[in-house]
Amino acid sequence: MSKATENAAIQARREYYKKWRAKNKERVREYNRRFWEKKAGEHTKNAEKAASEN
């Protein structure tokens, strides 16, 4: 695949997802909320593990 074709594909994908996110704001919020809750849980778990090792 040529560089120009690759760039066109990247741009098309970005445009598609930009429109999808605009149409599905609630889904995006829910996905982000779950992602950050998971990250916070991992952080807490790692902090507790580090504290118990000391």
Predicted confidence (pLDDT) per residue in 21-48, tens digit: 999 999 999 999 999 999 999 999 998 8
Would you kindly state where each structural domain of the chain is located, as residue ranges?
Answer: 25-54
Q: For residue 42, with 0-12 CB atoms within 10 Å meaning exposed, 13-18 middle and 19 or more buried, which class applies?
A: exposed
**Lookup result for tokens 């970005």:** 14
- Residues 22-37 as b or e (16 or more Cβ within 10 Å = b): eeeeeeeeeeeeeeee
Q: Give helix 3-23 / helix 25-53 axis angle, nearest 10°.
A: 100
- Its pTM stands at 0.69
